[in-house]
Chains A and B, each alone.
Chain A
Amino acid sequence: MQTVKMVVTGPFSSGKTEFIRSISEIEVVSTERGIAKGTAESEEKEATTVAMDFGRITVDDDLVLYLFGTPGQRRFDFMWEILAEGMLGFIVMVDSAKPETFREAKSILETFRAYAPTPYVVAANKQDHPEAWDPEDMRIALRIEPEVKLLPCVATQRDSVRDVLLELLYTILEEMD
């Protein structure tokens, strides 16, 4: 049986766990831990991923796609390179409503590009948020090259997640040519 791996990365609270949860056929094996109360992070959400999230899509008896979500907080970045090993491609999630995280997103993107020259796309998540930036404005702010796909996304909606995964696979296919 062949297994292929894709990695979903991005800053803290950008929606990586939700993304995998929306499309995985198994209940996501998550390593979420509660965030200490009183911290700035705890005002955003109650739990954060500390090692990784793990989702699966079975294609047939011979082929399985694994989705690995990275921990968003920098202090858990020792997991990143481990998770990046052998990946077919990766998705960088960015919270469209939090421009203060764009710089971090760009930094994570560059880190993963350095791990392996694999195809990737950028997902402008939380497009349903009233303060979400337009993806093309985000492209400018994040300094994403025109040839890189920057896709609108709502990680809680399966159709939206499916479209992002498809675009990544199309990119992989194009790079094989």
Chain B
Amino acid sequence: MIHEAVPTGEKDAMKNEKMAPGDKKASIAFKAGKLVFAALAGQKNDLAAMLNKAGKLSDQQTSIIRERAKGTSDKALAMRLIGANYVSQSDIVNSIQQFTLDTVYNLMSWNIEPFRFEDNTLPPSDRILVPIDLENVIIEGARRIRADQELIDYLPDLDMALKFPENPKEKFKGIHLGVEEWRVVSFVNPKNTIRQIAKANNMSELEIRRVVYGLEQAGLVMLVKPAADPKAASSRRAGSSRRKRQQPVQRDVVSKLIDKIKSI
């Protein structure tokens, strides 16, 4: 178990602030020397959530399945989804494995929260446990910690904005973007700060830094100072709904478009 670090007001032997464990923040389980489970407190971590995160179920499918399969264990749900040809067995194994790994890699970037090891404590028996070798997890986790620090150094200020370069034609050739990258691309506008784009896309600071780094290195976007008051853009962009309010487009803009299209 990993807990919230609560300052005690005392100093430890190294003269650092002494922390006491507060609310539970995350849990990881191991069995026979292998990683079998990881979850963050407050995060949906049922099978439907894992398949949704892996892109095997849409948001709509996930909410329908949750509603119809209330009280169904993950194992029983897996059987039903495989039987209904929604997903395959390997989809389920891979999704659980990836979800677990993503959670662990996230946890490995934490550096102050106290943890408590509880012997012989496993997740409930209705959970599907996919054993994962720890050696590669540790090596990859360490690599990510280094890479994450480099990303923070590269983009320390998330209140910067993005814009498209003047002539991305050559750079776009042969580039295949992932879904997360497309989500960011759809918000590229000097009026939106990177922090707002992350919030609108429900991405963590590291996730948005990683995507922006990739796009910027490929020459597909440029970092710029935000064009307008970030607070104004925030209220327009990052509300509870991701839907953007329609910007008023001037008549002369449409006329210009018509002239251009006519000339093609």
Question: Which residues of A approach B to under 8 Å, CB–CB?
Answer: 1-4, 23, 25-27, 29, 31, 51-52, 54, 57, 59-60, 63-65, 68, 75, 77-79, 81-83, 85-86, 88, 115-116, 118, 158, 162, 165-166, 169-170, 172-173, 176
Chain B residues near A27: list those with CB within 8 A. Answer: 169, 172-173
Chain B residues near A65: list those with CB within 8 A. Answer: 257, 260
- CA of A68 to CA of B254 in the docked complex: distance in angstroms? 18
**Of B59, B163, B178, B264, which is within 8 A of A78 by CB?**
B59
Chain A residues near B60: list those with CB within 8 A. Answer: 77
- B180: nearest chain-A partner, CB-CB: A51
- B55: nearest chain-A partner, CB-CB: A78
Q: Tell whether A116 pairs with B246 under 8 Å between CB atoms, given A60-B256, A65-B257, A173-B251.
A: yes
For B, the interface residue count at a CB cutoff of 8 angstroms equals 37
Question: Which residues of B approach A to under 8 Å, CB–CB?
Answer: 58-60, 163-164, 168-169, 172-173, 175-179, 182-183, 185-186, 189, 242-244, 246-247, 249, 251, 253-262, 264
- A3: nearest chain-B partner, CB-CB: B189
B169, A52: Cβ atoms closer than 8 Å: no
Q: Tell whether A86 pairs with B246 under 8 Å between CB atoms, given A59-B256, A173-B255.
A: yes
- CA of A68 to CA of B172 in the docked complex: distance in angstroms? 15
Q: 4 smallest A-B Cβ distances: which pairs?
A: A85-B244, A86-B244, A59-B260, A26-B169
**Of A2, A31, A82, which is within 8 A of B176 by CB?**
A31
- B176: nearest chain-A partner, CB-CB: A31
B261, A169: Cβ atoms closer than 8 Å: yes
Q: Tell whether A173 pairs with B258 under 8 Å between CB atoms, given A27-B169, A82-B186, A86-B247.
A: yes
Chain B residues near A172: list those with CB within 8 A. Answer: 249, 254
- CA of A158 to CA of B251 in the docked complex: distance in angstroms? 25
Can you name 29 A-B pairs with beta carbons within 8 Å? A2-B253, A3-B164, A23-B264, A26-B168, A26-B172, A27-B172, A51-B178, A54-B172, A57-B260, A57-B261, A59-B256, A59-B257, A59-B260, A65-B260, A79-B182, A81-B242, A82-B182, A82-B186, A82-B242, A85-B242, A85-B243, A88-B254, A116-B246, A118-B246, A158-B264, A166-B262, A169-B254, A169-B257, A172-B249
**Of B175, B254, B259, which is within 8 A of A29 by CB?**
B175
Chain A residues near B254: list those with CB within 8 A. Answer: 88, 169, 172-173, 176
B242, A166: Cβ atoms closer than 8 Å: no
- CA of A114 to CA of B88 in the docked complex: distance in angstroms? 33
A51, B179: Cβ atoms closer than 8 Å: yes
- CA of A118 to CA of B179 in the docked complex: distance in angstroms? 25
- A25: nearest chain-B partner, CB-CB: B169
Chain A residues near B168: list those with CB within 8 A. Answer: 26
Chain B residues near A3: list those with CB within 8 A. Answer: 164, 189
- CA of A83 to CA of B262 in the docked complex: distance in angstroms? 25
Chain B residues near A68: list those with CB within 8 A. Answer: 186
- A28: nearest chain-B partner, CB-CB: B172
Contacts A172-B249, A176-B251 known; list 17 others, CB within 8 Å. Answer: A2-B253, A4-B257, A25-B169, A27-B169, A29-B172, A31-B182, A54-B185, A63-B257, A64-B164, A77-B58, A77-B60, A78-B58, A82-B183, A82-B242, A85-B243, A116-B243, A166-B261
